[in-house]
Structures are given as C-alpha cells and as structure tokens.
Structure 1
Amino acid sequence: MKKKKFSFGEFFQGLGKTFMLPVALLAFMGLMLGIGSSFSSPSTIDKFPFLDHTFLQVIFRFMSTIGGFAFTYLPLLFAMAIPLGLARYEKGVAAFSGLVGYIIMNLSINFYLTETNTLAKLDNMREAGQGMVLGIQTIEMGVLGGIIVGIIVYLLHKRFYTIQLPDAFAFFGGPRFIPIITSLVLGIVGILIPMIWPLFAMGIQAIGDLIQKAGIFGPFLFGSGERLLLPFGLHHILVAMIRFTEAGGTEVVNGNTISGALNIFYAQLQGGGPISPSATAFLSQGKMPTFMFGLPAAALAMYHVALPSRRSKVKGLLISGVLATFVTGITEPIEFLFLFIAPLLYLFHVIMTGLGFMVMSLLGVVIGNTDGGVLDFLIFGLMQGTYTKWYLVLIVGVIWFVIYYLVFRWAIKKFNIKTPGREEVIEDDVERSAEEMTHGKKGRYDAARILAALGGKENIADLDNCVTRLRLVVNDMSLVNDAELKACGALGVMKLDATTLQVVIGSQVATVKNEIERIMEGDHNE
C-alpha cells in the first residue's frame, strides 16, 4: 500500500476536532457550576428567600463543586483527548498513554526544579510561574501543557503501535509499547521544558499582547477571527488559546494566578468573587447578539424570500437551524446555508459577530461560559443578577435582528442569491426535495447513499465527526460527489486539501457517522 503523505490540513483538522471532547464536557460542567453558584449566591437568596433551605443549599454547593471538576483538570483532559481523537487504532491505549505522559512530564519537571534548586517555596509559587498539578509542584503551563503531551503521545502512538520486538521482549510490543515509550520520551521532555518554556511563554504572551493592546478592538478581532476560521474547522485552536492560555489574560483569583478568559471566569464564579469584564469580553456575551438574534433573523429573511411554493419545504430546515443556534449556540446549520453561495454575506456575518463582541464589552456586560445561546443567557446572565447587565443583550439583540434581516433580505433579492427555496429545481428532485429538506429534523439520512457519494468504503481512509460535521480523510478526492452529498441533505462540503474533507450535516451527524461505520464494517442489516 502506498504510504500516505503527511497532511497539515488533515492534522490540524483532527487537532481542532479533539478539542471538542473536553470543551463539550467543560460546557456542561459550566452549566452545573453556573446553576449551583447562582442559586447559592447571597443576592439570589435575598430575592428568593425560599432557596435559603439547608437541603437545597447543599445540593447547589454540590453542583458547584462538581462543576469545577473540568476547570481544575482541564490540561489532563486535553492530554488524554488529543491522542484519543487523533489515533485511528487502539484509541484506549492512546488515551491511557496521554494520562501516563502528562504525569511523567510533570514529575520530570519537578525533578529538574528540585535538582537545580529552583523549586519555589509554596507561598512564592505564583511569582515563580509554578503551581500544583495533581499534587506535583511544577511549571504552570495550563492547558498548553496538556496539548503538548497530547500531540507527542499521538505521534509516538502513530509510529510505534504496531512495533514488533525480539521474542524475549515480545510481551512489551505492539500497543503495550506506547505507554512505555511515552514514559521515556515525556520524561526527557519534562527535563527540557524548564529550559525552553520561556520561549513558549513569550509566544503566547505576544498573541495576548496583540489582542490586549488592541483595546476595544481586541474582542472584535477574536470574534471575527473565530468566524473566519470556522469554515476550515480551525476555530477551536484560536478559541482554546484565548480561553485557556495567557493569550486570554491573566488575573489573580483568591490568591491563585489564573490564565485564560474561561479559566478566569470559572475561578471567579466558583470563588464567589466579582466577575471580570476583561475575561467575559471573549466569552458567551459576545456571541449572543448574533447567535440569539442575528442568525434567526437571517433565517427569517431566507424564509420570506423563498419562492412561495417552496416555503413549506424549507420551513423545517430553517426552524431546526434557528433552534440549534438560539438554544445551544451551534451555528453551522444556518451559516452553511449561505456561506458557499454568498461569501460576501458571510463576511458581513463575520464583521457583525466581531462587532457583537466589541459592543458587549463596551457596554460592560459580564456574561461568561462558552455557547452564546439562551441557556447561557439565562444561567450566567439573568440568574446571576442585574450586575451582569443581561438586559442590554436584549436591546442590542433587537438591533442585530433588524440589521441582519434587512441586509439578508436585500442582498438575496438584489443579487438573486440561491438560498434554500430559491435554487433551481431539477425535475427528478421535485418529489424528494421536501423529505430531504427535513432530513436533519427527522434524522432520516441515507447513510449508504452518502457513503457512495464519498467514493465508497475503499475511498475512506479515516472517518470521524465533530458537533455538526463529518471529518474525513479520503484516498482519492476526485471520487467525492459534492452534488450528490448535497442531494443527500448535506449543508456544505469543504475540501481542505487533496485528501482532507468535511461534510456539514447538522445535529444528526453522530448518527450518520455511526451508520456509515456499520455499513463499512459489514454489520448493517437492511
């Protein structure tokens, strides 16, 4: 078999995908933390005295404690999730090796600091850039330390998981060799990190300085950049950098130095202290004008300009997309309806998203978390009290709704953009179009047909999914039939390079991926 060339597109696509596993857990834990902290805060109890009950308060404090789990152990979660997500075989071994590697690396750092007499005293760790990780005093690298371990473990796994050792050592060959080689390599890495970490810190600080020095434009740059990277699936990397590293700011919370906008927010929320506007400037509040109001307005405009005879056929598609963005902050089902056919409208959307971040920051709104939907608005805005200025989201949101609706309606009609319900209809597709428009709602995707449109089983080198997309590596991109994939209900097809492919499905993507895998494995029964 011809050896496949290394593809940066494939690697970074996969790396961005692996971020979704810990981030999804973090989002859920954040909701628990938000509910627990809001109902146990003195201001909420003052407004709702019936909450001041011992049993209820124990439950709310328990939720806050559990909700803080992902924040506390986030670097370890990344160290395990990255090799788990990138490895194509023996995924369990890859994740286990990530755990081993992360602990070994920090033990080695501790050893180096101890041997060189640079291990700071406990009351001076913060100033020395050190902290406690799993009970080990080490260099405070935050989530970047977990990412470094995850990538190294993946590369070791890819190189050695099929290794054959001499008969005398055969027991240690194959997958069992991965945690062994991980221990050795990450042990050495742990010795080297204290020597080279200042360079990493300078790079992160440079990005942070660029955003911080941008002043009021910092949130704008972040919000716009995230939307620009979204079509390529690389936005998770920028988001992770701002949320979890010094690039998103550094503050002292309850005597601990916390880096990353989301880390700062959760630490302040858990500690009951004031919420930092400079941290929330990069969080949920910036998305809310666009996610809760702008994109639903765009969907309404697309419905109104659809051909009258086809409005009923596109209604289900648009409603499901609106619900996804309004409730959960999943925007692709709406964005990919106009991204490919109207790039200038998407550029308008990019700018408006960045402006949403900037305006919320200028108005002093302090609503954190990750999703930007109505759940974040209620839990981290409304329930936390008026100091969050949640009411300003509604005022700005109405303005965003009007602007989006007028711009989308005007542009679609002016330039005859073929948004859903306006495209030319092929005669053979007339009868089935109504059913296909509601694929995502009913979950009735034809996995066999999608697999055929991807070039068949033999053309799939790797198959996975994120929140809304199939993420694939194919052997021959020319065998991929874009038109057929869209006829199957796909919202968009992204070809990142010669072998790396993304197919935007929507919220049912996991079901589609699992069904395709069953067909490929020969376990599918008609």
Structure 2
Amino acid sequence: MKKKEKKSSKGWEFFQGLGKTFMLPVALLAFMGLLLGIGSSFTSPTTIENLPFLDHNVIQIILRFISTIGGFAFTYLPLLFAVAIPLGLARKEKGVAAFSGLVGYIIMHLSINFYLTETHKLAEADVMRQQGQSMVLGIQSLEMGVLGGIIAGIIVYFLHQRYQNVKLPNAFAFFGGSRFVPIITAIIMSIVGIIIPMIWPFFTMIINGIGNLISGAGAFGPFLFGAGERLLLPFGLHHILVAMIRFTEAGGTAVVSGDTVSGALNIFYAQLKNGGPISGSATAFLSQGKMPTFMFGLPAVALAIYHTAKPENRKKIKGLLISGVVATFVTGITEPIEFLFLFVAPALYGIHVVLTGLGFMVMALIGVRIGNTDGGVLDFFIFGILQGNYTKWYLVLLVGAIWFALYYFIFRYAILKFNLKTPGREDETEESATESKKESKASNGKTGTQAAELLHALGGASNIESLDNCITRLRLVVDDMNKIDEPKLKKNGALGVVKLDAHNLQVIIGTQVNHVRVEMDKLME
C-alpha cells in the first residue's frame, strides 16, 4: 500500500513540476508579446494617421526592431520548451539537463528528416505546409509545434534522471556521470526521431479531437476553457490545459501569410506580427476572457472582504488586499486573492469558476478581440486600446462593471449570510495569526526569518524530499505529512495550504515566493 502511495505521489510531483516548467518559456513569451504589441501598434497605418509624429523613418525602424525582437519567442517556442522542461524538472545538474534538451531536440528533427528522406516522403517546398512539414532550425521536419518540444523535453528529463550518476568501466570513465546524459540523449532521441513519423498521425488525431470538441461547443467552448482553468488552478495543473489550447491544434489552426499556424496564442502572435486582422476565434481563449474577472471581479471580492471585516481589523488587512488587487489588476496573478476565500468557502470558489467561464463566453459572443496571456490592464492597454477600436476594448469596461457588481454583491451577501471567516472576520484566537501573516507579507526585510519559520512548520529540512516554486506557491514533496504544522504555516505568511496526497504539498505564499524558496534552500544546505 505504501509503495502504491509513493507511486501516486511521484505522478502528482511530475505533473505539478511539468506545469511549473511551462511558466519559464511562457513568462518570456508574455514579455516578448508586449514588445510585439507595442511595435505593431505604433507601426500600424491607423496609429500613424492619428499620431503623425510617428511617421519618421528612424522611429519606424526602432519600432520594427522592437517588433522583430518580440517575435523571437514565438518563432523558437518549441525549442524553448525542449530546454526548459528538463531544466525545470531536474533536481541536480540542471545545466547538463538543459544542454541535453537542446541536443535531443535537434537530433530528433535530424532523424525525422532522415526518415522522411529515405522513405521518399520529404515534401517539395511549395506543398510543405499542406503535407504537415516545415523548416525547424534549418531542418525540414514534421510540423510538430510546441508538442515536439514538450515530447523531447520530457524524454530527456527521464534520461537525465536515469543516467546522471551512471558509472562506466575505467576505460570509458571519462564519458560517465553527467557527461553521459547528452550522449545517451543523442542515441535515444535519434531512435525516437525514426519512430515519431510512424505514430505522429495518432497524436494529431487526439489533439484534433480535443480541438473539434471545443470548437464544436461553439460559444460554450471558451466557457469550458475559462472554467476549466480556474478549476485546475488549486492543484497547480492549469498550466497544462492552457499550454494545450495556446500552442497546439486544440486551440485552432489558421493560415497566416501562407503558413499554417496552430494554437490560439500562436495564431494571435502570427497575425499581430503580420499586421493583418486578428481572429476572434483565437482571442476567445486569451486575455480578453480573463479581463472581466481579473480586472474587475477579484478587486470587487477584495472590496467585499474589506467591507465585511470587523471595523477594528480593516487597517490590518488593507495592505494584504491592496497588494492582491494590484497583482491581479496589473499582472493577472490571481492567487493572492483567490486563496483568501478558496478554503474558507469552496462554494464561493465554485461561483468564481462559473463567472470566469462566463467572462470568456461573453467576450467571445460580443466580438472583443484582445489577445496575449495575462488578462491585466497592460494587455488591455497594449493589445486593446493601442490596436484600435476594432478590438472593441470599450466593451471590456461595460462587462467589467457588471462583473464588479456581481462579484461584490454575491461575495458580500455570502460572507455575511454564512458568517464566513474571511480575513478580518476571524475569532479572537485566529486574529493574531492573521495579523502575523499580514506583517510577514508586508515586510520584505523579514524574508529570512519567515523562511526559517516556514521550514520549521514543514517539519524541518529532513522532512523535505523536494522543494520548488512557481509564480505564487511553494511546491513540495515531504516524507511525513503528519509533521506539517498548517496553523504555523498560515501564521508565517501562507495564504493557503493544499495537500494533494500523502506526500505532495503546496504552500501558497504570493508573489514573493521565489525569495522565500531561495532562503529556505540556503537554510536546508
């Protein structure tokens, strides 16, 4: 039974870690998207007509340069995933893992090219796209997109785990240990590259099936995506769903400037870079759907929590709520507010899931066309207002006002009706813990002390088998869950604690989580 539990925990650990590794290339993509958005918006004929001073050769060259740099991550995204996945999942020798990811990805495509050449299936240049082939780093190969990078990255990670400490006979000892990882990667990925063309139609059938399911749902498709993402968020698995829709055929396929592009975000960036019309079917799964909830709904939740708090406690929780509002409104990081009510009132979180899904559906139905990833005010300004009125950015404000009212009155009513213990409404014995939590979050200078207290509450370094973090939460594998002191974790800055199984644990800290994790690493060393 214990062995079965461990195997289940390893599965949770792997999928949590995989979702976390997606954030490294996606974070870069989000920033590069902003550059691409700025460059494209200020070089469009409409903007130049309204702002004639932009019609200067030097200014336009600079803006085109910004746009070109912004397109980098979109062009090489599969390679970024192939490197980021083994880098993020590996616990030791991370540099070797990343290097092996690069080696594996290139050799996989070289082998695919060899197979296509030897079987006389290599398409001519003028029909390459129609036959599902493209140029990858100068190699004609299958058009696998991000999924190719993910496959390579996962295989390389398992090879790294298995062979990073391998011992070879003395005559070959030089090639042992971590040096053996890129060597075995080259061998295995060359074989994988031969196998992939034989089984690739099966993968495309599955992905296309998911895409057909979503597109077949019509306006309900964005609802399913938006609600599903929020539903998976407490478990840290939402990144996997998001990546599938953003970067694979599940998010749609379009032809842009003669090239076939798959994935909602890929389509949006390609159209933005090309200067053509933006597809509403692509942006239906992007920033616009988040905006009613992220920019208006969750700030309304914060206001409801503030208004329903005991008058003497409002000053104590004001800083916490303001920092949460800024995070969701500007950057689209929602956990600091969501975890204030997720554990106190799961039913309210269910309402939040439904309203988020409805936000996606309504934005699609009324024809809003605002892309990118975050759903905050930066995306609203750069990809909405600056792109012109065809994005219908003004409708976001109208829907947002409705969402603000819905969230505020629903949450205020529920908190008062059911006497929910949201921040500022705790019993006397709980208030000191809440106050300590707010103080520890408000003071960046106490990160080291906070890390020490959190480590102690987690049962000490000996109880931690694995420690990592994503944007807002610590992700841990612990030896004994019974040693976890949840009240002490919350007293020292944890917004919430998620116990996934007997060994996998998540501690929600907020946007300062990386600093806390670094301090904990130092203490554990």
Give me the TM-score of the superposition, normalised by structure 2. Answer: 0.97
Q: 1:326 matched to which residue of 2?
A: 329
- The answer (yes or no) to whether the contact 1:316–1:438 under 8 Å persists in 2 is no
Alignment partners' CA distance in 1, 2:184 and 2:437: 50
Selected match of 1:496 from 490, 495, 500? 500
Q: Which residue of 1 aligns with 2:440?
A: 439
- Where does 1:430-509 land on structure 2 (aligned, <5 Å)? 430=432, 433-443=434-444, 444-445=446-447, 446-509=450-513
Query: What is the CA–CA distance in structure 2 between the aligned matches of 1:383 and 1:442, rounded to whole Å?
Result: 37
Residue in 1 that maps onto 2:213: 210
Distance 2:15 2:377 in 1: 31
Residues 1:305 and 2:325 aligned together: no
Could you tell me which residue of structure 2 aligns to residue 517 of structure 1?
A: 521
2:436 touches 2:491 (CA, 8 Å); kept in 1?
no
Instruction: Select between 476-485 and 206-215 the one with higher mean Cα deviation.
Output: 476-485
Higher mean Cα deviation, 271-280 or 46-55? 46-55
Structure 2 counterpart of 1:442, one-letter code: S
Counterparts of 1:505 and 1:473, CA distance in 2: 17
Maintained 8 Å contact 1:468/1:505: yes
Q: Distance in 1 between matches of 2:128 and 2:283?
A: 26
Q: Which residue of 1 aligns with 2:360?
A: 357
Distance 1:10 1:436 in 2: 27
Q: Hey, what does 1:219 align to over in structure 2?
A: 222
CA shift, 1:57, in A, is 1.0
Structure 1: segments with no counterpart, 5+ residues: 522-526
Give the Cα–Cα distance (whole angstroms) in 2 for the partners of residues 484 and 337 of structure 1.
17
Pair 1:343 & 2:346 matched: yes
CA distance in 2, matches of 1:153, 1:10: 17
Which sits farther off after the overlay, 415-424 or 48-57? 48-57
User: Structure 1 residue aligned with 2:32, among 29, 32, 37?
Assistant: 29
One of 281, 284, 306 as aligned partner of 1:281: 284
Report the alpha carbon displacement of residue 435 of structure 1 after superposing the two structures with TM: 4.8
* Deviation per residue, 1:199-220 (Å, 9 max, x gap): 0000101110110000010000
Does the 8 Å CA contact 2:436/2:492 hold for their aligned counterparts? Answer: no
Tell me, yes or no, if structure 1 residue 426 matches structure 2 residue 452: no
One-letter code aligned to 1:110: N
After TM superposition, give the deviation of residue 439 of structure 1 in Å: 2.9
Distance 1:471 1:305 in 2: 32
Partner Cα distance (2:452, 2:31) in 1: 33
Tell me, yes or no, if the aligned pair for 2:207 and 2:248 is still in contact at 8 Å.
yes
Partners of 1:281 and 1:425 in 2: CA distance: 46
The 5 A counterparts of 1:356-395 are 356-395=359-398
> Deviations 1:403-438 (Å, cap 9, x if unpaired)?
0000000000000110000111328x63x7535314
- Asked if structure 2 preserves the Cα contact closer than 8 Å seen for 1:440 and 1:507, the reply is no
Map of 1:55-94 to 2, 5 A cutoff?
Answer: 55-94=58-97
SS in 1 for 2:497: strand
Offset of 1:320 from its aligned partner? Answer: 0.3
Q: In the alignment, is the contact (CA less than 8 A) between 1:320 and 1:441 conserved in 2?
A: no
Q: Distance in 2 between matches of 1:487 and 1:46?
A: 57
Q: Does 1:401 align with 2:401?
A: no
Q: Determine the C-alpha separation between the residues in 2 that align with 1:365 and 1:200.
A: 32
Map of 1:102 onto structure 2: 105
Per-residue deviation, 1:330: 0.1
1:291 paired with 2:294, answer: yes
2: CA distance between counterparts of 1:315 and 1:185?
56
For residues 26-81 of structure 1, what are the alpha-carbon distances to aligned partners after superposition, in whole Å with 9 as ceiling and x for unaligned? Answer: 00000000011111111111111111122211111111000000000000000010
Following the alignment from structure 1 to structure 2, what is the Cα–Cα distance between the partners of residues 70 and 497?
Answer: 36
What is the SS of the residue equivalent to 2:340?
coil
Cα deviation, 1:264-294, whole Å, max 9, x if unaligned, reads 0000000101000000000000000000000
Query: TM-score, with normalisation over the residues of structure 1?
Result: 0.97
Shift of residue 474, structure 1, vs aligned partner? 1.1
Letter in 2 for 1:345: L
Letter in 2 for 1:437: K
Q: Indicate conservation of the 8 Å contact 1:130/1:139, yes or no.
A: yes
Say which is worse superposed, 63-72 or 494-503, in terms of deviation.
494-503
CA gap of 1:286–1:433, structure 2 versus 1, over 3 A, is closer
Cα distance in 1, alignment partners of residues 362 and 477 from structure 2: 40
Task: For residues 162-209 of structure 1, give each alpha carbon's deviation from its aligned partner in whole angstroms, at most 9, with x where no partner exists.
Answer: 000000000000000000000010000000000000000001011101
8 Å CA contact 1:224–1:350 kept in 2: the answer is: yes
Name the CA distance, whole Å, in 2 between partners of 1:411 and 1:399: 18
CA distance in 2, matches of 1:391, 1:438: 39
* Pair 1:176-2:175 in alignment: no
Which amino acid letter does the alignment assign opposite residue 152 of structure 2? V
In structure 2, what is the Cα distance between the partners aligned to 1:480 and 1:127?
Answer: 56
Work out whether residues 100 and 183 of structure 1, in 8 Å CA contact, stay in contact via their aligned partners in 2.
yes
Matching residue's letter, 2:499 = K
Amino acid at match of 1:106: H
Provide the rounded CA distance (Å) in 2 between the counterparts of 1:329 and 1:60. 26
Shift of 1:440: 2.8
Deviation per residue, 1:340-397 (Å, 9 max, x gap): 1101100000000000000000010000000000000000000000000000000000
1:119 to 2:122 alignment: yes
Q: Distance in 2 between matches of 1:246 and 1:439?
A: 44
Q: Indicate the residue corresponding to 2:163 in structure 1.
A: 160
Preserved contact between residue 265 and residue 279 of structure 1 (Cα < 8 Å): yes
Q: Name the amino acid aligned to 1:415.
A: F
> For 1:103, what is the secondary structure of its paired residue?
helix
SS at match of 1:7: helix
Q: Which amino acid aligns with 1:157?
A: H
The code of the aligned residue for 1:327 comes to V
- The amino acid that maps onto 1:480 is I
> For structure 2, which runs of at least 5 residues remain unmatched after alignment?
none
Q: Does residue 230 in structure 1 map to residue 233 in structure 2?
A: yes
Mapped to 2, the partners of 1:439 and 1:236 lie a distance apart of: 29
Contact 2:436–2:493 (Cα < 8 Å) also in 1: no
Provide the secondary structure at the position in 1 that maps to 2:414: helix
Q: Distance in 2 between matches of 1:193 and 1:183?
A: 15
Residues 121-172 of structure 1: per-residue CA shift (max 9 Å, x gap): 0110111000110010000010000000011000000011000000000000
Alignment RMSD? 1.2
Moved over 2 A (4+): 2-6, 432-436, 438-445
Deviation at 1:517, TM superposition (A): 0.7
